[in-house]
Amino acid sequence: MDFVHKSVLLEETINGLRVGPEGIYVDGTLGGAGHAKKVCEKLSAKGRFIGIDQDQDAIIAATRRLERYKGNITIVRSNYCYMVQKLKELGITKVDGILLDLGVSSYQLDTAERGFTYQQDAPLDMRMDQRMERTAKDIINEYSEQELYKVIRDYGEDKSARSIARQIARVRKDKPIETTGELVDIIKEAVPRKFRMAPGHPAKKTFQALRIELNQELKVLEDSLEDMIGLLNPGGRICVITFHSLEDRIVKNIFRKCENPCICPRDFPVCVCGRKSLGRVVTRKPILPSQEEKEENRRSKSAKLRIFERAVCEEES
């Protein structure tokens, strides 16, 4: 199966990056290279593009799709949390733009054997990087009932988290839970009828929670976003596309903190903490997909784009 992923908020993101022909740009979630291709189209022979992804299928597909730009590009298989390190290995300490398109790709969802989807029966995998040893099956069968409850509650924001965790613990006493189909049946059994009848699949939130926990998606984002802002040249921009409230909240809060890092009490007449702004939040409210895009690509409906611009004058000490 080809790695196909319809890029969300494509034009809005490329416009937000303000690509300069001779600049250096990084895509930390390369995927099928939809955004990357648009960036590369704008680069001159002096421009440079670095694409990072931890999924081997994405690396193969992106390398093929960006073949005509091979003189400008470097593709690295890694998690974007190692961006600073990987760029340093390439002799790069500053860049002009960074892009993150978070969450799971269409390819990963549509490839049943990857175990991300609740629509088809397959092994419980959900690894974004298949070099990892642990899978979603390990979480389902090894976490305590209380740990499962917290994961589903916190990362899935599911009102039925306790009953789902309890049902998982009950079923696995007899035999390990091994497939997505088995897990879906367990969730349907655990979710009260009034929630089963609500719009959306009853397993969606639990699958999201397991994927986030397994791949440590929120921790990676929280631990590395400010470092990526530090990579930007003056006037450089970072564009981040999120797909659920937990990711969006992290991005919004870190952008705000980088814009106004002062920790002095509000009643202080002047700042004495010495913390300097790294730049400004370009998007006071997130950019959302148009109605047309939502109709063309149903997976875009929850997408939000936020943009931060590095200060033109270096103010930090």
Residue 3 has pLDDT above 70, yes or no: no
Number of domains making up the chain: 2
According to the model, what pLDDT value does residue 79 have? Answer: 97
Q: Tell me the DSSP string of the chain.
A: -------TTHHHHHHHHT--TT-EEEESS-TTSHHHHHHHHT--TT-EEEEEES-HHHHHHHHHHTGGGTTTEEEEES-GGGHHHHHHHTT---EEEEEEE-S--HHHHH-GGG---SSS--BS---SSTT-S--HHHHHHHS-HHHHHHHHHHHH--TTHHHHHHHHHHHTTTS---BHHHHHHHHHHHS-HHHHTSSS-TTHHHHHHHHHHHHTHHHHHHHHHHHHHHHEEEEEEEEEEESSHHHHHHHHHHHHHHH----S-TT-SS--S-----EEES-SS-B---HHHHHH-GGGTT-EEEEEEE-SS----
**Are residue 158 and residue 79 in the same domain, yes or no?**
no
Q: What is the pLDDT of residues 247-270, one digit of tens each?
A: 999 999 999 999 998 888 888 887
According to the model, what pLDDT value does residue 272 have? Answer: 77
- Is residue 149 very low, low, confident or very high in pLDDT (cuts 50, 70, 90)? very high
**Are residue 91 and residue 174 in the same domain, yes or no?**
no
Answer yes or no: is 122 within a domain: no
According to the model, what pLDDT value does residue 269 have? Answer: 81
According to the model, what pLDDT value does residue 196 have? Answer: 67
CATH number of the domain within which 141 lies: 1.10.150.170
- CA–CA gap between residue 288 and residue 8 (Å, rounded): 10
Query: What mean pLDDT comes out for the span 197-209?
Result: 88
Answer yes or no: is 114 within a domain: no
Residue 317 has pLDDT above 50, yes or no: no
**Are residue 221 and residue 103 in the same domain, yes or no?**
yes
Q: What is the pLDDT of residues 76-125, one digit of tens each?
A: 999 999 999 999 999 999 999 999 999 888 888 889 999 999 999 999 99
The CA-based angle 50-308-277, given to 5 degrees, is: 115
Domain end among 181, 215, 249: 215
Q: What is the pLDDT of residues 51-67, one digit of tens each?
A: 999 999 999 999 999 99
CB atoms within 10 A of CB 204: 14
Of 113, 99, 44, the residue nearest 72 (C-alpha): 44
Query: What mean pLDDT comes out for the span 4-32?
Result: 93
Domain with 297, as residue range(s), is 10-107+217-310
Sequence-distant (6+) residues with CB within 8 A of 41 are: none
Residue 27 has pLDDT above 70, yes or no: yes
According to the model, what pLDDT value does residue 4 have? Answer: 53
- Is residue 315 very low, low, confident or very high in pLDDT (cuts 50, 70, 90)? very low
Residue 275 has pLDDT above 90, yes or no: no
